[in-house]
Structure 1
């Protein structure tokens, strides 16, 4: 069931076109990430959904109701910002109860609902503290409690984890996804962090230059990118400008083709070694080898072609910096981009 429908939304700031005919349908209970580099339009789109920025053209509906021109406080959604925007003069409980009271709840009912929301985010025992007395991760949970206390149909999150340190950020990614699944509220999450989007999302909308390049599940986007931009932005990739000898996918007509091969799908063998049956191969010289934990990243070059292999465990015999290696892969692992 479609909860949110975004139809042909465009937005310009003077001569700069921030959004260019963007359309997107979001289902009830989905976790959708808007992913892309700075300036791609993801935050502008979020602000238009929230009502803080008006679209030049297009329409937004929630459950069939046109909200395109409604003010933010009349939309059935809430937003969690990067800076959390907590009231410093109020306790944690008062911060969370503020929303229900503004919506007409009496003090007792607002307090009960606020305590329930704090329980959901694991902060009921800190209800009487001031936000100043809390860590960044705790403040983030308070902001979430305040956003969910009124049980909105839709929750918008504008890079709410960006200020946290790496370990806390990773933990909060899991907690946020678990909370979303428990509540059943639709989440739209803005991030520039591809790993964060992959960990948390049901679907990812990859954006570039004001347009959605691709929207799919993380696995589909990683293994079957629709454009070179998506292949480069999501993970790392080798780009093979022509089919290696023996590859059955030959170009048709004059349409150029590029093969996308992920580093973990590129195996290395010493020169002269017998390759397993069914693999395609080319040769390249090993330029650099770097180690991260139990992972080796091997960078190779053959003329203008640069390759990256990611290997787990010990290096194969005969693979070292300066040697010429056989670079082999399965045809099924080579994804062909059209155009």
Structure 2
């Protein structure tokens, strides 16, 4: 070893229970008064965000059926995870979304048309990632997880307290990229949080055919990453667990792996027929655990939400959907020259020649 100092681990790391998730998913809606529950103001923000997010999701689904979008992967039933992820982050933190996380994007304040640009087929990303501190949506499973680790580690090297939150599905945990990312996060003690939205299916493949582990959260211990599991249809629990994980990572506590138990109520995408691989009884079971209905009931029961509040949230969401529908009804104005933008930071002579030739051709028309 020479003069190299020994790396001493905290004493609690020796105890395996330090790394393991709770035996049952964390839940709060039945006991909003217990320690760790989010404040009422945050729960009301989550409710409004979930109402708007669901209406956005419904409108986007309809636009895909009308041919205004090439495809749309609905997150109906996963609103607590989507909105909770956005609310758990500071404006200076980074979000790393997948193709199914459009509701998380609009919850982060990204323009809905820019959010749907990828799915409309107009560009690889419709929003400015740097401005919104949100990476482009990732279609290949789990490839963005390592990017989240790298960014979080890099920000820490710069002396910043930035946290990265990577959204992944249960199918992504079967990919090598996911395991490499979690392993790297553990080694670097990077300030990154992985949120697994376990919606039970990777397209048509059920969780039971993907993993023999007692739960996806248990995968964290193999990489020295603390883990937790939460009722993903309990908005209060999602907010509590994610906020604690984000702030602990920010304070130097290392990465976290959170498994949120939820359900994809709709099809995998607008081109899918889920009746071919799951039963109506299963769907009804999960519809009865609707995260929006459960949060509304809990808030009403405690006198935090009135009929007027519910009506106002619905009216705001409907106006939001109307504006989105009107804007996407117009055909996009495409600039052919934009094909040559963002190819190189400094355009090559060949690229400039192609641009000149394109302009000449356009002027002839």
- Do the structures match in fold with TM over 0.5? no
More strand by share: 1
Higher relative contact order (CA 8 A, sep 6+): 2
The structure number with the bigger radius of gyration is: 1
TM-score, normalized by length of structure 1? 0.29
